[in-house]
């Protein structure tokens, strides 16, 4: 065997997630996370070149003085987490809204009154590109320490062409310069700006006729998303934006049925979206249609937790019906200010009754499918990018169990130790 750059040996549990690079895990498959006891991984030129039991690998591998050898005795090794839904490029966060919400104001009510997303729009417009870059970089640093090695990043705090493009350029630069890989999504239709309050369709015109062509022309995004919600964008407006985006070469995603059951899940199936996200109020029919169409359901329990909801998305129903489920932090300045994928996994188990194995599948290989990158990341398999995390814990079940703690000890990105 060629001389490896890095070898991890003796992992008590090596959680490979193997076998689903071309199709996301559904139903029973979610529980099967491909654990190798006393596992080893071999890395060469940023890629995984061998995976197996330590005693088998050690006989095959040609360790040289240049090989970095990591002893993972008593540790658990997993693929880097993939976060398929974030809003990390923004001006200011909105901690003042916490007191308002504790006193009974609703999230959509705050938005209606010009706060919420619209408040962040103001602070984002006024920030120079370099400041947006520096603050988002810090968020990526935190993600990396939490074991997240790829994130999707949305615009949506501009709501006019110049600021939307500014956010996407910042995000793209982060992808080039930061160790965390960043995948861009255009979310020009994230809220209706104040000036368009009485003319929402005119704002949709602006999104599809002015913003979208420039985003595509500059190659600033792979996906297009929209906030389909009562008082924000209707199902028909969402259909229009996503259909146009698809024609222009961007893959559709949708913020669907987060707070009200509008039919966003059904629309996701109609337009063959890559993912439908939130789904707190998705209907039975919507769930069935998503399963048939193979739309990944990205669940964001951190958001419903932070918005003090008692009800969570019906993960068990979705799994039973065959929706490929994924998990995300939804890192943003107002409804989910966290980078902790581990905490999200705990919430998925405690509030949505997902098993630890199911939640881990949802945060790795299925999350990679939600951003169309499962051929490269999301599992520990030969030929995949060497994005690996070593956790100081005896098994995978310990992750959601000992909650609110970062168990990450070492992060390896493209074969290099970065944490
Ligand atoms: N729900 C809509 N958009 C974001 C929240 C953005 C914000 O509150 O700033 C979300 O996914 O939760
Ligand atoms: Zn979002």
Which ligand neighbours the alpha carbon of 258 most closely? 1
117 lines ligand 1 (CB under 6 A): yes
pLDDT for 190 equals 98
CA dihedral in degrees (262, 102, 338, 315; nearest 10)?
A: -40
| Predicted pLDDT at 201 | 98
**What is the Å distance from ligand 2's center to 86 Cα?**
6
pTM assigned to the model: 0.98
Does the C-beta of 39 come closer than 6 Å to ligand 1? no
Report the candidate in 405, 275, 362 with the shortest Cα–Cα distance to residue 78: 362
Ligand 1 proximity of 329 Cβ (cutoff 6 Å): no
| 25, 324 Cβ separation under 8 angstroms | yes
Which is nearest to 44 in space by CA: 63, 25, 31? Answer: 63
CA of 98 to the centre of ligand 1 (A): 14
Instruction: Give the domain 82-371 fold.
Output: TIM Barrel (3.20.20)
- Please report the atom of ligand 1 found closest to the CA of residue 120: 9
**Residue 55, C-beta contacts closer than 8 angstroms, at least 6 positions apart:** 38
Atom of ligand 1 nearest to the CA of 334: 8
Contacts of 19 (CB under 8 A, 6+ apart): 32, 34, 379
Return the residue matching tokens 């169409």: 293
**Ligand 1 site, residue 306, Cβ cutoff 6 A:** no
Return the pLDDT at 399: 98
Of the candidates 373, 417, 387, the one whose C-alpha atom is nearest the C-alpha of residue 47 is: 387
CA distances from 271 to 154, 206, 248, 251 (A): 20, 21, 14, 10
- pLDDT, one tens digit per residue, over 193-203 is 999 999 999 99
Reported as a single tens digit per residue, the pLDDT across 182-239 is: 999 999 999 999 999 999 999 999 999 999 999 999 999 999 999 999 999 999 999 9
Classify each residue of 56-92 as buried b or exposed e, where b means 16 or more C-beta atoms within 10 Å of its C-beta.
ebeeebeeeeebeebebeebbbbbbbbbbbbbbbbbe
pLDDT, tens only, 370-406: 999 999 999 999 999 999 999 999 999 999 999 999 9
What's the full length of the chain, in residues?
419
| Contact between residue 77 and residue 15 where contact means Cβ atoms under 8 Å apart | yes
* Averaged pLDDT for residues 125-143: 98
pLDDT value at position 198? 96
- Per the DSSP assignment, residues forming a β-bridge with 323 are none
Q: Give the residue whose CA is nearest to atom 5 of ligand 1.
A: 335
Closest-CA residue, ligand 1 atom 11, reads 330
Averaged pLDDT, 141-167? 98
Which residue's structure tokens are 């290099």? 416
Largest pairwise CA distance in the chain = 71
Closest among 6, 41, 42 to 417, alpha carbons compared: 6
Report the complex ipTM: 0.98
Distance CA 269, CA 251 (A): 13
What is the arithmetic mean of pLDDT over 261-284?
A: 98
Q: How far apart are CA 406 and CA 399, in angstroms?
A: 9
Q: What percent of the chain has pLDDT over 90?
A: 100
Q: Ligand 1 center to residue 270 CA distance, Å?
A: 23
Q: Are 171 and 223 in contact (CB under 8 A)?
A: no
In the chain, domain spans: 6-80+379-417, 82-371
CA–CA gap between residue 283 and residue 409 (Å, rounded): 41
Band (2; pLDDT cuts 50, 70, 90) = confident
Provide the mean pLDDT of the chain. 98
- Determine whether the shortest distance from the Cβ of 225 to ligand 1 is under 6 A: no
The tokens for 184 are 């861009």
For residues 33-39, give the mean pLDDT. 98
34-57 average pLDDT score: 98
Among 211, 93, 89, residue whose Cα is nearest residue 151: 89
Rounded Cα gap, residues 368 and 283, in angstroms: 25
- Does 131 score more than 80 pLDDT? yes
CA of 4 to the centre of ligand 2 (A): 40
Q: Considering only CA atoms, which residue is closest to atom 12 of ligand 1?
A: 335
Q: Which atom of ligand 1 lies at the shortest distance from residue 333's CA?
A: 9
Cβ(69)–Cβ(43) under 8 Å? no
Residue 78: pLDDT over 90: yes
pLDDT of residue 1: 64
CATH class for domain 6-80+379-417? mainly beta
Q: How far is the CA of 379 from the centre of ligand 2 (A)?
A: 25
244 CB within 6 A, ligand 1? no
- pLDDT at residue 173 is higher than 70: yes
């Amino acid at each position: 065997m060629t001389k490896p750059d890095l070898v991890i040996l003796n992992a008590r549990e090596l959680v490979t997630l193997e076998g689903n690079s071309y199709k996301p895990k559904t139903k029973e498959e979610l529980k099967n996370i491909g654990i190798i006891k006393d596992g080893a991984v071999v890395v060469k030129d940023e890629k995984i070149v061998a995976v197996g039991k330590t005693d088998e690998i050690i006989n095959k591998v040609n360790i040289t003085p240049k090989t970095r050898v990591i002893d993972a005795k008593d540790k658990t090794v997993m693929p880097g987490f993939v976060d398929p839904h974030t809003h990390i490029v923004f001006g200011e966060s909105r901690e003042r809204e916490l007191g308002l919400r504790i006193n009974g104001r609703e999230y959509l009510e705050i938005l209606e009154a010009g706060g919420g997303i619209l408040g962040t729009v103001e602070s984002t417009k006024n920030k120079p590109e370099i400041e947006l870059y520096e603050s988002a970089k810090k968020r990526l640093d935190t993600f990396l320490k939490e074991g997240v090695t790829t994130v999707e990043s949305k615009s949506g705090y501009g709501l006019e062409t110049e600021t939307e493009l500014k956010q996407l350029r910042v995000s793209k630069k982060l992808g080039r310069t930061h160790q965390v890989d960043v995948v861009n999504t255009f979310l020009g239709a994230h809220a209706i700006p104040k000036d368009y309050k009485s003319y929402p369709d005119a704002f949709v015109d602006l999104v599809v006729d002015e913003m979208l062509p420039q985003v595509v022309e500059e190659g600033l995004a792979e996906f297009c998303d929209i906030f389909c919600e009562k008082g924000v964008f209707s199902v028909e407006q969402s259909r229009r934006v996503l259909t146009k985006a698809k024609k222009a070469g961007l893959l559709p995603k949708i913020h669907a049925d987060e707070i009200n059951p509008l039919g966003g899940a059904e629309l996701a199936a109609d337009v063959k979206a890559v993912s439908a996200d939130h789904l707190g109020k998705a209907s039975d029919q919507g769930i069935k249609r998503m399963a048939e169409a193979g739309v990944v359901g990205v669940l964001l329990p951190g958001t419903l937790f932070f918005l003090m909801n008692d009800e969570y998305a019906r993960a068990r129903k979705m799994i039973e019906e065959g929706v490929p489920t994924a998990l995300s932090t939804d890192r943003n300045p107002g409804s989910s200010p966290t980078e902790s994928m581990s905490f999200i996994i705990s919430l998925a188990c405690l509030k949505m009754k997902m098993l630890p194995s199911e939640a881990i599948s949802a945060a790795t290989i299925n999350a990679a499918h939600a951003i169309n990158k499962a051929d490269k990341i999301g599992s520990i398999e030969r030929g995949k990018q060497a994005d690996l995390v070593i956790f100081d814990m005896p098994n995978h079940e310990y992750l959601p169990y000992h909650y609110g703690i970062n168990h990450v000890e070492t992060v390896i990105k493209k074969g290099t130790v970065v944490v």
